[in-house]
Amino acid sequence: MKQISPEEFQAIIVGQAERENAERAEVGLPPLEVTAHSYGSLTSDSGLTEYFFAGMMIGFVQGGIHYSNGL
């Protein structure tokens, strides 16, 4: 995982989902969605949100900082 900008993070999430779902559509499988798991914190700035696609974590946001494995 590496730190990236919010714009890069969004592009990775959308791009990964679009590529995978295009491949799934070619073989007649239904599309998958990006899901998120949020974990609260005692302070509003340091919560953790993990993003998954097809059961694999593709990134997370913690304390307003975005991280992704760059898929």
Tell me the C-alpha distance between 19 and 39, whole Å: 28
pLDDT digits (tens, 9 = 90+) for 28-71: 999 999 898 988 766 666 788 898 988 888 888 888 888 887 65
The domain of 52 spans: 2-68
Tell me the whole-structure pTM to 2 decimals: 0.75
| SS3 at position 17 | helix
DSSP state of 30: P
Reading the block at residue 46, the tokens are 């340091």
Cβ–Cβ under 8 Å, residues 9 and 66: yes
Q: Tell me how many domains the chain contains.
A: 1
Q: What is the H or E stretch that residue 47 is in?
A: none
